[in-house]
């Protein structure tokens, strides 16, 4: 808790020191100030703070220190409840970071327009005929209702062995089959107005997502005792987030869809950590075989993608494609190291 307080104070001081010069140079005469994008040194300070937090987390997780509670030595990594609590707290921090970055992206991409520009835009929009209304987002309630019904079925009516059979014999195989259909559809699709580098980035994410879904299915199949399986909610939640991330990257056109893809790659290790704590899966012998390297790598590139969104106009995707290629290479290396440590 003391570390969280120190991090909060440092973040406040960075924001205060950065915004103080802007307040001193505010225009006089009561005129409204034009919106300003964050400067490069603001992100440099934020990255330094993020690097310090990441270094502390790596030291805390990999050092294997034992904490003293009274006269009893307590290793938090051996307690499933402590692991689940840490995962939930990290998840809350990731959500807060995502909201903050999304707010920064929106603020930087929508500068305050001058009054004349607003009047011209209103006149032009009045001359253009109104387009057909978009489909209501409430249409997604049908899918959400089906997911909720399946979760309630597992909780109310199905024993744990039947829940395990439902996931391993129906839901996961159907999801993997649908993922292959989506990838095949992307390969044979001839319509679309996306540029080459943007399409390349989509392929990197979609292939990685499909491979991770196969790994999730194999991970569930490796559970030795179906009678002890009690993680159906977390598996279904992972599938819902997977389809949302895949669809946003593949079919979406917004600039922030790749940020959503990195967001899923940050949340997925946390879900796996909770899944291991709930099912009582033994922890890997090597630190590199745990979920923490994947979580840290995903979080770092999540921040880099947010900086790319703020610093660029979105017309050029070459540098972002190089960044995504580097991420996929490092992710593949971590997967190979984790597989060898398990073997």
Q: Which of 237, 258, 270 is nearest to 323 (CA)?
A: 258
Contacts with 199 (C-beta within 8 Å, 6 or more apart), sequence order: 192
pLDDT of residue 234: 93
Is residue 47 in some structural domain? no
Q: What is the mean pLDDT of each run of 10 residues along the chain (343 residues)?
A: 56 56 47 47 61 64 51 55 66 65 58 47 48 56 88 91 93 95 89 78 94 94 86 93 93 87 94 90 82 93 88 75 93 92 71
State the greatest distance between any 2 C-alpha atoms of the chain, in Å, as a whole number. Answer: 78
Number of domains comprising the chain: 1
Q: In the structure encoding, which two tokens stand for residue 90, read together? A: 């990290």
Is residue 327 in some structural domain? yes
pLDDT of residue 215: 95
Is residue 235 in some structural domain? yes
SS3 317: coil
Is residue 37 in some structural domain? no
CA dist 179 to 75, 153, 241, 263, 274, Å? 40, 24, 13, 19, 24
Is residue 73 in some structural domain? no
pTM: 0.64
pLDDT of residue 132: 44
Is residue 14 in some structural domain? no
In sequence order, what DSSP letters do the residues of 33-93 get, joined into one string? PPP-PPPHHHHHHHHHHHHHHHHHHHHHHHS---EEETTEEE-GGG-HHHHHHHHHHHHHH
Provide the domain limits for residue 258.
83-109+141-343
Is residue 192 in some structural domain? yes
d(CA 155, CA 140): 23
CA dist 152 to 140, 156, 157, 210, 255, Å? 18, 6, 8, 27, 36
- DSSP class of 137: G
Sign of CA dihedral 83, 48, 324, 104: positive
Asked whether 103 and 15 are in contact (CB, 8 A), the reply is no
In sequence order, what DSSP letters do the residues of 143-205 get, joined into one string? HHHHHHHHHHHHHHT--HHHHHHHIIIIIHHHHHHHHHHHHHHHHH-------HHHHHHHHHH
pLDDT of residue 192: 67
Alpha carbon distance, N-terminus to C-terminus of the chain = 37
Sheet strands (E) in 219-328: none
Is residue 158 in some structural domain? yes
């Amino acid at each position: 808790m003391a570390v969280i307080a120190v991090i909060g104070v440092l973040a406040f001081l960075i924001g205060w020191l950065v915004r103080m010069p802007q307040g001193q140079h505010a225009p006089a005469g009561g005129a409204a100030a034009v919106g300003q994008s964050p400067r490069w040194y603001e992100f440099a300070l934020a990255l330094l703070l993020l690097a310090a937090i990441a270094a502390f987390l790596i030291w805390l997780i990999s050092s294997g220190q034992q904490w003293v509670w009274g006269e009893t030595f307590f290793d938090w990594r051996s307690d499933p409840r402590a692991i689940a609590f840490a995962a939930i707290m990290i998840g809350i921090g990731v959500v807060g970071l995502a909201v903050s970055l999304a707010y920064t992206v929106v603020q930087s991409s929508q500068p305050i327009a001058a009054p004349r520009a607003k009047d011209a835009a209103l006149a032009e929009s009045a001359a253009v005929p109104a387009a057909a209304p978009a489909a209501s987002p409430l249409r997604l309630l049908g899918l959400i209702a089906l997911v909720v019904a399946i979760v309630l079925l597992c909780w109310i009516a199905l024993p744990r062995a039947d829940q395990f059979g439902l996931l391993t014999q129906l839901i996961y195989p159907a999801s993997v089959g649908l993922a292959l259909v989506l990838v095949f559809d992307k390969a044979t699709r001839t319509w679309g107005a996306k540029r080459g580098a943007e399409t390349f980035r989509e392929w990197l994410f979609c292939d990685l997502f499909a491979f991770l879904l196969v790994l999730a299915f194999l991970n569930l199949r490796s559970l030795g005792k179906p009678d002890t399986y009690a993680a159906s909610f977390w598996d279904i939640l992972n599938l819902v987030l997977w389809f949302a991330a895949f669809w946003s990257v593949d079919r979406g056109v917004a600039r922030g869809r790749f940020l959503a893809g990195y967001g899923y790659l940050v949340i997925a290790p946390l879900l796996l950590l909770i899944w291991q704590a709930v099912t009582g899966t033994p922890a890997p012998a090597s630190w590199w075989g745990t979920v923490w390297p994947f979580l840290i790598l995903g979080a770092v590139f999540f921040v880099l993608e947010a900086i790319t969104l703020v610093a660029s106009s979105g017309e050029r995707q070459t540098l972002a494609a190089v960044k995504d290629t580097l991420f996929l290479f490092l992710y593949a290396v971590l997967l190979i190291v984790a597989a060898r440590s398990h073997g």
